[in-house]
Structure 1
Amino acid sequence: MSSFDTIDTLNADTDIASEKRVLVRVDLNSPISDGAVQDNRRFERHAQTVQELSDAGYHVILLAHQGRPGDDDFVSLEGHASVLETYLDCDVKFIDDTYGSRVGESIGVTEPGDVLLLENTRMCEDELPEADPETKADTTFVQSLSGHVDAYVNDAYSAAHRSHASLVGFPSVLPSYAGRVMETEYEANTAIAKKEFDGTVIMAVGGTKATDVIDVIDNLGESVDSFLLGGVVGELFLRASDIPVGFDISSETDRYDTQWERNSEVINSILTDHADQITLANDLAYDDAGERAEVAVDSITDKSVSFMDIGTATAELYADMIRDADAAFVKGALGVFENKDFAVGTVQVLEAIAETECFSVVGGGDTSRAIEMYDMNKTDFDHVSIAGGAYIRALTGEPLAGIEALESETV
């Protein structure tokens, strides 16, 4: 269990009774299409925390970010207010500023149960870049805004690996608590290292960002019994096993070779130290004139096609191993599941997890999106994470600045 306080503690704190103003950091960062924000699971998840606080009679003041300065998705949060409102039993008011007299006046006229969303935190120059909590706490943004509220709640687990003002500055100057998303994400994503399991622990690892997941494998060697590999990382491990895959076949792409150069030493070390824990694909799938075709790994003599999924035999093997497991974790897709012809590996692994009684966590935006795309029920999984970078940090044992700020002694 974590050592930070939660909303339960906030509700029990007689110095911060209902009707007080609570500043809540959420993560509503979402895809932007034609200038409009697109709905995603983050709105629904954070709405649970917001609704709970609103129902309890707090004045709920929201902070969130969208994109980065200079990027196409760096836009105002006005549209986010409308999307969030669809998940709440109350209106979401919006002000196009983050601190100052206008914000103070807007906060001052809120009523118990009201929800007010402030402008994109990254439009405030004090938010970026990353710095230590003391430095961020001393910014005009934090000092000014904290004077208008009574407590701070951080619900933005998916941004908790960032040391930005809205994430680490306020716990130094306000009584601070974890929201429900922060609480549940933290407990689920650290379970693989902290939870005791009676049987086998399986982790399916894939995706295109091999560097991230290789670090996960290296860190969790003592906690996971079997790693089931697919995607780019699976090909790189096959390459280390003298199978002629895991390299770019065109000078126009750079998906494999750079990551191989960066990680080959660690991959070989993992294969030496944890060989009995690594399960590699025994067949791979590729596109043959618009149709799915498969080839046995041991019959590959050179890489002349792009592999887009683990093969059917491998998918069945992985699914069987998961059905016998006591816990199953997923990080990264095992194939290009957006194309149904190459969703076999990802879907069969997820369906096997859903069919069993094992403890399960599915992490990473792409993989969790497959649950919705292929009509699986997310309630069949113990936890479907909305975090990306923070999930990786948790699995690799790296500290999360937002968590550390909540765990530190506050005022």
Structure 2
Amino acid sequence: MAKKIVNDLQLKGKTVLVRADFNVPLDNGEITNDNRIQQALPTIQHIIKEDGKVVLFSHLGKVKSEDDKAELSLRPVANRLSELLSTDVIFVDATRGEELEEAIQSMNEGEVLLVQNTRYEDIDGKKESKNDPELGQYWASLGDVFVNDAFGTAHRNHASNVGISTHLETAAGFLMEKEMKFIGGVVDNPERPFVAILGGAKVSDKIGVIENLLTKADKVLIGGGMAYTFLKAQGKEIGQSLLEEDKLDLAKDLLERAEGKIVLPVDGKVTKEFSNDGEIKEVSIDEIPSDLQALDIGSKTVELFAKELEGAKTVVWNGPMGVFEMENFAQGTIGVCKAIASLQDATTIIGGGDSAAAAMELGFADEFSHISTGGGASLEYLEGIELPGIKAISNK
């Protein structure tokens, strides 16, 4: 069933509650990356243009004590949002009460207000994170309609997304719509050939994703630390490389069920210490010395993966190919990133997390069809799980 989108709603004169994802990185109160704020702008600007009153909710970090409050205030977000919108954003340093209610009641059409960090409500019994019914109902009472544009928390059953949705007509914002179109499209109806690339450290983090994508994708390319559990399951000697011993039987089972769909590395960069400074060798997967560990895929694997990507019409990538934070073990991730970015006439999607960070750091962000703003949400969506935040959006 198709979901309502923000442009399906009549907004003029209405107080529009918007759940955004302003969970931005901070350093001494300074925002170090405003991408999530930038991604929220189209929805906010649309509501302003339609003469709605925009009341924004977001969490920031985890607030466990009174000491966390000062460090995790959304005031820096309000300041940055004011700059980006070229208008004063009203900031209310409260999550409930008379000050908040009066500020909202005093708003004019086209004005924007940001409520303090929703996680402030978690200090006293995790009311936000546990979707306290009274809190969701209270927040809903502050507005006329609700727009959920926070895909990054769509896998969470919180008061500020699902709780508010219970009481108000709810639509997806434009960012949420993009995520449903691209990530949801991969799960529901990918254009073929469809190639998935999975990396990261652990098989256990991505069991559900691998199992689901094996039923959807034509090929599943596996790199990163998780690849070595699969290689060990094939009987390879992997030296000191990352291994999840308790997942070996699962890896064997997945390889059997894959019937050739899973493609594993053929070489790797090995070293003695988990460090950027040690001696590095590039060796065949069949020749990893017993005292060394692989921290990146090798050049032949990059070539193999690029070959597997040729002609693909849909590509989804989640997880780096090695320890890309260390310059000497970033080449595999860079190589795969370049190979995907160079594809013509393909829908190319990064499923959030470290691979999204890598693409942005490497300057390839504009070369992809879509870079998801959700880490955990993207993974669960790729598993085929119905996300609470999306389920709660009203159907058309």
Contact 2:55–2:113, Cα closer than 8 Å, also in 1: yes
- Bigger shift: residues 325-334 or 83-92: 83-92
- Tell me the percent identity: 32
Q: Residue 102 of structure 1: CA displacement?
A: 1.0
Describe the superposition over 1:93-131 as per-residue Cα deviations: whole angstroms up to 9, x where unpaired: 211111221111000111111111001101124643435
Residue 312 (str. 1) matches residue 292 (str. 2): no
With normalisation by structure 2, the TM-score equals: 0.91
2:268 paired residue among 281, 284, 295: 284
Describe the superposition over 1:338-384 as per-residue Cα deviations: whole angstroms up to 9, x where unpaired: 333222221111211111121111112311122222222x2321111
User: Aligned partners of 1:407 and 1:30: how far apart in 2?
Assistant: 28
User: Aligned partners of 2:178 and 2:323: how far apart in 1?
Assistant: 29
Counterpart residue number, 2:376: 389
Contact 1:158–1:386, Cα closer than 8 Å, also in 2: yes
Residue 335 (str. 1) matches residue 319 (str. 2): no
Counterpart residue number, 1:102: 99
Counterpart residue number, 2:130: 130
User: What is the letter of the counterpart of residue 183 of structure 1?
Assistant: E
Counterpart residue number, 2:253: 269
Note closer, same or farther for the CA distance 1:394–1:33 as it changes in structure 2 (3 Å cut). same
User: What is the letter of the counterpart of residue 366 of structure 1?
Assistant: D
User: What is the letter of the counterpart of residue 172 of structure 1?
Assistant: T
Counterpart residue number, 1:48: 42
1:239 paired residue among 228, 232, 245: 232
Describe the superposition over 1:26-72 as per-residue Cα deviations: whole angstroms up to 9, x where unpaired: 11112232344432321110122112212221110000001112386
Counterpart residue number, 1:161: 155
Matches within 5 A, 1:215-226: 215-226=208-219
Contact 1:210–1:233, Cα closer than 8 Å, also in 2: yes
Secondary structure of 1:308's counterpart equals strand
Q: How many residues align?
A: 385
Note closer, same or farther for the CA distance 1:92–1:209 as it changes in structure 2 (3 Å cut). farther
Over aligned residues, Cα RMSD in angstroms? Answer: 2.2
Counterpart residue number, 1:151: 145
Counterpart residue number, 1:321: 308
With normalisation by structure 1, the TM-score equals: 0.88
2:56 paired residue among 47, 62, 65: 62
Gaps of 5+ in 2: none
Counterpart residue number, 1:253: none
Secondary structure of 2:110's counterpart equals coil
Contact 1:212–1:392, Cα closer than 8 Å, also in 2: no
Secondary structure of 2:206's counterpart equals helix
Q: Residue 322 of structure 1: CA displacement?
A: 1.1
Note closer, same or farther for the CA distance 1:202–1:104 as it changes in structure 2 (3 Å cut). same
- Bigger shift: residues 358-367 or 336-345: 336-345
Residue 188 (str. 1) matches residue 182 (str. 2): yes
Q: Residue 312 of structure 1: CA displacement?
A: 0.5
Secondary structure of 2:357's counterpart equals helix
- Bigger shift: residues 380-389 or 81-90: 81-90
Note closer, same or farther for the CA distance 1:20–1:360 as it changes in structure 2 (3 Å cut). same
Q: Residue 184 of structure 1: CA displacement?
A: 0.5
User: Aligned partners of 1:85 and 1:393: how far apart in 2?
Assistant: 33
Note closer, same or farther for the CA distance 1:260–1:42 as it changes in structure 2 (3 Å cut). farther
User: Aligned partners of 1:206 and 1:246: how far apart in 2?
Assistant: 19
Q: Residue 241 of structure 1: CA displacement?
A: 1.2
User: What is the letter of the counterpart of residue 39 of structure 1?
Assistant: N
User: Aligned partners of 1:351 and 1:242: how far apart in 2?
Assistant: 31
Counterpart residue number, 1:358: 346
Contact 1:205–1:331, Cα closer than 8 Å, also in 2: yes
Counterpart residue number, 1:252: none
User: Aligned partners of 1:183 and 1:104: how far apart in 2?
Assistant: 30
1:293 paired residue among 275, 281, 300: 281
Contact 2:152–2:377, Cα closer than 8 Å, also in 1: yes
Counterpart residue number, 2:336: 349
User: Aligned partners of 2:237 and 2:77: how far apart in 1?
Assistant: 47
User: Aligned partners of 1:407 and 1:238: how far apart in 2?
Assistant: 45
Contact 2:169–2:394, Cα closer than 8 Å, also in 1: no
Residue 9 (str. 1) matches residue 8 (str. 2): yes
Q: Residue 408 of structure 1: CA displacement?
A: 6.8
User: Aligned partners of 2:240 and 2:328: how far apart in 1?
Assistant: 23
User: What is the letter of the counterpart of residue 386 of structure 1?
Assistant: T
Counterpart residue number, 2:220: 227
Contact 1:239–1:246, Cα closer than 8 Å, also in 2: no
Counterpart residue number, 1:24: 18
Contact 1:205–1:332, Cα closer than 8 Å, also in 2: yes
Residue 38 (str. 1) matches residue 35 (str. 2): no
User: Aligned partners of 2:143 and 2:164: how far apart in 1?
Assistant: 11
Secondary structure of 1:3's counterpart equals coil
User: Aligned partners of 1:157 and 1:391: how far apart in 2?
Assistant: 8
User: Aligned partners of 2:127 and 2:248: how far apart in 1?
Assistant: 37
Secondary structure of 1:316's counterpart equals helix
Note closer, same or farther for the CA distance 1:301–1:40 as it changes in structure 2 (3 Å cut). same
User: Aligned partners of 2:7 and 2:252: how far apart in 1?
Assistant: 47
Q: Residue 240 of structure 1: CA displacement?
A: 1.0
User: Aligned partners of 2:35 and 2:118: how far apart in 1?
Assistant: 20
Contact 1:243–1:300, Cα closer than 8 Å, also in 2: no
Secondary structure of 1:204's counterpart equals strand
Describe the superposition over 1:201-259 as per-residue Cα deviations: whole angstroms up to 9, x where unpaired: 111110124322232111121211111111111111111111222866xxxxxxx45x4
